[in-house]
Amino acid sequence: MGADIVNQAMSMGSMIQTAMESLVSPTITAVTTALFTAMFVGKKTEHKGLAGAKTTIFEKEIRTLLDNGRLSYRELNQMKNYLEVVEKADEFHKECGYDKVEPNTQYDIDWFIRFFDAASNVSNEDLQKIWAKLLAGETICKGCFSLRAIETLYNMSPDEARLFSKIADIVIDEQYIFYKMGSVGEEINKKYGFDAPALRLLEEVGVVNALIAEAEDVIEPDECAGFQCGQYLLLVKSESSTALHYKMLLLTKVGEELYLAFHEEKDNYAYLYDLGKTMEKELNVKVGLYRITGYSDADIVQYDETVNLMDE
């Protein structure tokens, strides 16, 4: 029995070494190596060669630590879970491009230790992908994910995470959920999974503020109001001066941070299409739906005016 456990541990040690050697992103590799050195090697053994090395003899080190009782099997399993997150973060780095990492960035090791403490206890693959986005995002843009974001995500159940992932598909301008404009809003939101029970749950999780905020856009005949969702833009116009009064549910600060990790760019404009059709019917306005093509130097949305998706 004891031999089986040791053999299993050695197999995991070999897997950890292989995983470390397979990482491509220099930033992810350096951060992970420094973290493991600080947590498992630097303070527990006399071996100092681990820091700064991309390829290391993890299997031998792990055997030594286990034999000396300085590394528990629970910690070994945490390393395994964490490296599964790291490998996924490495893939996200490949997609984003390594050149987006600011050179000579001084990372906060305490943030990564807190991240490890949380992510290393997660074995659910879907949740690991979210954790991987946090890790990739923090290494690309230091400070974009707070310690509170780590805590909030750690306390989410898989069902709560799935709900927020679903709701992330209908978040407007990366900041709020459209709630109501006259008679428009509630029924459409229900169709896409956002109803009163969902609101209460997301409020308890800490990602949505249940207090209803209000806004008003006054549009003249030559102007329009815009609602962006993902890579699509809904523009509302009127033949006369019109005040568009609407209600919304704002994401909390940590909700805005986690939205960046939960949202996935999809070639799907169904929500904005349904919202636009209902606006045209109920509010006597003209609506256009366009694909966003980019942003100007002043961060102004640019879109393809030649194809109005509302006409399809």
Domain boundary among 125, 154, 183: 154
Q: Which residue has the higher pLDDT, 70 or 95?
A: 95
Per-residue pLDDT, averaged over 140-148, amounts to 91
Q: Quick one: 140 and 29 in the same domain? A: yes
Domain boundary among 124, 154, 184: 154
Q: Among residues 105, 144, 109, 92, which one has the least CA distance to residue 35?
A: 109
Q: Quick one: 40 and 184 in the same domain? A: no
Neighbours of 79 (CB within 10 A): 26
pLDDT at 299: 80
- What would the pLDDT profile of 230-280 be if each residue is shown by its tens digit? 999 999 999 889 899 999 999 999 999 999 999 988 888 999 999 999 999
Q: Quick one: 212 and 103 in the same domain? A: no
Domain boundary among 131, 154, 177: 154
- What would the pLDDT profile of 189-209 be if each residue is shown by its tens digit? 999 999 989 999 999 999 999
Q: Quick one: 112 and 228 in the same domain? A: no
Rounded percentage of the chain residues whose pLDDT exceeds 90: 52
Query: Rounded to whole angstroms, how far apart are CA atoms 306 and 286?
Result: 16
Neighbours of 94 (CB within 10 A): 13
pLDDT at 66: 62
pLDDT confidence bin for 61, thresholds 50/70/90: low
Query: Rounded to whole angstroms, how far apart are CA atoms 46 and 132?
Result: 31
Q: Quick one: 148 and 176 in the same domain? A: no
Domain carrying residue 234 = 163-311
